[in-house]
């Protein structure tokens, strides 16, 4: 897709993207993509299978090619806490949204891979300690390493998709938004673009203020369990902090990735998302930031996905 000039520090309302919202969806997509759920990748890093779902666009073949052309670009689309690899499809209607975006030519034919971020994939997501897309402090569960070292190469080799930074992007909602930004920040030149809807990023003050159960469930395994107050803001916390990553990465390196942030005006995570926007702005890094009316829910994420997809399309080779 032809690149467009990024808007630096742009705030937008819902009407600015009305053309990509649900009311503008194609009335009848010409064809539907194919979806497969609960596929498995054997992980030596985690010592267990990692589940994932796969969307292939209309006209694509099993080897990841579209109408005989080169390998499809790929989006790694991450779910939020309390969900699994099927959530974007079953709750977020991602298959239909993708079909319609492709039919409108807002997005090129693209493969979408939805990894499962549950700690124990044999158990329902509720009640588990979250990975939050990080490695455990004691090295016993290295989810972040698994994704970058094993999962991406496995998927791209097996399904013949992606294969180069310009053909690869990453995105997600809430916890998955945090993970998507983290992967792109920690691995420059790996993704052409990254987006987060309601990124699960909290300021120092918000982390300190979390009740013990909420802190332990989200972050205890990565930063240390049962920590209180500012003891939570330790070296492990800093090593995974998105603002710290922005601060220590040169602006020209950050600018190699296209960044898209969208968080509801009434979302409890708005403060952290706004802080990311401000940090990128002060560093002079082109990005798109918007806040629409809404909260932390599927209505916001499904209405925001079309604009995020269109943004990614502008930055794929």
Q: What average pLDDT score do residues 288-296 get?
A: 98
Q: Pick 8 or 264 by higher pLDDT.
A: 264
> Which pLDDT value is given to residue 126?
84
Q: What is the 3-state secondary structure (H, E, C) of 225-276?
A: CCCCHHHHCCHHHHHHCHHHHHHHCCHHHHCCCEEEEECCCCCCCHHHHHHH
Per-residue pLDDT band at 121 (split at 50, 70, 90): very high
Q: What one-character DSSP code corresponds to residue 9? A: T
> Which pLDDT value is given to residue 11?
38
Q: Which pTM was predicted?
A: 0.91
Tens-place pLDDT, residues 17-67:
334 444 444 555 468 999 999 999 999 999 999 999 999 999 887 655 555
Q: Pick 2 or 55 by higher pLDDT.
A: 55
CB 179 within 8 A of CB 132: yes
Strand partners, 168: 74
Question: 3-state DSSP call for residue 48?
Answer: strand
H/E element holding 309?
helix 298-313
Tens-place pLDDT, residues 154-208:
999 999 999 999 999 999 999 999 999 999 999 999 999 999 999 999 999 999 9
> Which pLDDT value is given to residue 60?
87
> Which pLDDT value is given to residue 125?
87
Burial category of 96 from C-beta neighbours within 10 Å (exposed 0-12, middle 13-18, buried 19 and up): middle
């Amino acid at each position: 897709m032809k690149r467009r000039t990024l808007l630096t520090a742009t705030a937008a309302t819902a009407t600015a993207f009305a053309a990509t919202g649900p009311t503008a969806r194609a009335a009848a997509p010409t064809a539907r993509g194919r979806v497969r759920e609960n596929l498995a990748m054997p992980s030596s890093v985690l010592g267990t299978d990692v589940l994932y779902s796969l969307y292939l666009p209309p006209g694509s073949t099993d080897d990841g090619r579209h109408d005989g052309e080169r390998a499809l670009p790929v989006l790694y689309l991450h779910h939020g806490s309390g969900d699994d690899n099927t959530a974007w499809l079953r709750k977020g209607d991602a298959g239909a949204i993708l079909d319609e975006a492709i039919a409108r030519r807002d997005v090129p034919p693209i493969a979408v891979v939805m990894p499962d971020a549950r700690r124990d994939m044999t158990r329902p997501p509720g009640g588990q300690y979250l990975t939050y897309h990080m490695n455990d402090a004691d090295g016993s569960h290295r989810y972040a390493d698994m994704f970058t070292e094993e999962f991406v190469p496995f998927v791209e080799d097996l399904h013949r998709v992606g294969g180069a930074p310009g053909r690869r992007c990453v995105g997600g909602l809430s916890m998955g938004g945090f993970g998507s930004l983290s992967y792109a920040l920690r691995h420059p030149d790996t993704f052409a673009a990254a987006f987060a809807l309601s990124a699960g990023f909290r300021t120092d003050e918000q982390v300190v203020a979390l009740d013990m159960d909420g802190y332990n469930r989200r972050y205890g395994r990565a930063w240390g369990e049962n920590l209180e107050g500012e003891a939570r803001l330790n070296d492990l916390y800093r090593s995974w902090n998105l603002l710290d990553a922005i601060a220590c990465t040169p602006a020209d390196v950050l600018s190699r990735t296209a960044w898209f942030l969208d968080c509801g005006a009434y979302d409890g995570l708005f403060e952290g998302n706004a802080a990311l926007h401000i940090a990128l702005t002060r560093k002079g890094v082109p990005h798109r930031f918007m806040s629409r009316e809404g909260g932390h829910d599927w209505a916001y994420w499904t209405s925001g996905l079309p604009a995020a997809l269109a943004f990614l399309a502008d930055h794929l080779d």
